[in-house]
Amino acid sequence: MSREDIPFLFAMRETVSEDIDLLWTLRGLDEELVALNAALKRFPAQRASIAQRLAAERARLEHAKARFAELQKTRRALEQEIAGVSETERRFKGQQAAVKKNEEFRALQHEIEGAQNRRSELETGVLLQLEAEDRELAERPALERAVTAAEHETAERLAQIEAEERTDRERVAALEAERRTHVERLSAGVRTRYERIRTSLEGRALVPIVKGACGGCYRGQPPQVVQEARKRDRVLICDGCGRMLLWPPEGA
């Protein structure tokens, strides 16, 4: 492979080193932008998970309220049934006072005892319902406190996230402004190429050669390319990913 076979950018101006320095600086800014933009994507998921936690606490409270209402409804039905049975009992007792025959009296007595047993069963049922209602009510304050705590925590976390996001977005805006000043100073051909690659390759247009390989796609570079890159007098293009390749400056 001769020097002419190596893919590189033509139209570098005379002060090539200025373009190369600008590109290297741009790369640093753009890498930070890539990282920041990736990090910004975490916020919607964080907000959703916080909202979900609050919704779960509220649902627990709502379920408890629904259970309590159901217990009350069941108890009221039992109480109505007791009223009915008591009425029946009174009626039989009235009839009993009027009958003359022992046989009829005993038959009514049997009915009355049946009604009394049924009433007693129903009353036990009412007591059990009341106990269950008391247990539900005893748990209520803890559930309500959990909702209040979740609401406070939600508000606090959302404010935190908002502040973090604002900081990140301000940094993004600052980086965008800073990179524009460098982009403007690039020679036209390099600028167009850089911006085009940046758009098509998720914000990373230029990568260093690391251990003889492309720092973007990790494809090993031929020794000639590495040798050329070391001169730092032009920008090479990676065959693998199409990104610009630069030998990192001393101390980078």
- Cβ 26 to Zn ion shortest distance, Å: 17
What token pair was written down for 101? 């025959």
What token pair was written down for 142? 């803890």
- Using CB under 5 A as the binding rule, whether residue 215 contacts Zn ion is answered as no
Bridge partners, residue 206, by sequence: 244
Dist CA 141 CA 64 (whole Å): 11
- Using CB under 5 A as the binding rule, whether residue 201 contacts Zn ion is answered as no
Task: Determine the interface stretch with Zn ion among 157-165, 183-191, 220-228, 240-248 (rule: CB under 5 A).
Answer: 240-248
Question: What is the H or E stretch that residue 236 is in?
Answer: strand 236-237
Q: Which of 214, 225, 229, 236 binds Zn ion (CB under 5 A)?
A: 214
Task: Determine the interface stretch with Zn ion among 93-101, 149-157, 184-192, 239-247 (rule: CB under 5 A).
Answer: 239-247
- Using CB under 5 A as the binding rule, whether residue 241 contacts Zn ion is answered as yes
Distance of CA 73 to the CA centre of its chain: 39
Task: Determine the interface stretch with Zn ion among 22-30, 32-40, 102-110, 233-241 (rule: CB under 5 A).
Answer: 233-241
- Measured CA angle at 35 (ends 31, 41), to 5 deg: 150
Q: Do the Cβ atoms of 211 and 174 come closer than 8 Å?
A: no
- Using CB under 5 A as the binding rule, whether residue 217 contacts Zn ion is answered as yes
Q: How many residues at the interface with Zn ion, by CB under 5 A?
A: 6
- Cβ 178 to Zn ion shortest distance, Å: 26
Task: Determine the interface stretch with Zn ion among 3-11, 30-38, 68-76, 231-239 (rule: CB under 5 A).
Answer: 231-239
Give the residue among 197, 195, 201, 206 at the shortest CA–CA distance from 234: 206
The site for Zn ion (CB under 5 A) is made up of 214, 216-217, 238, 240-241
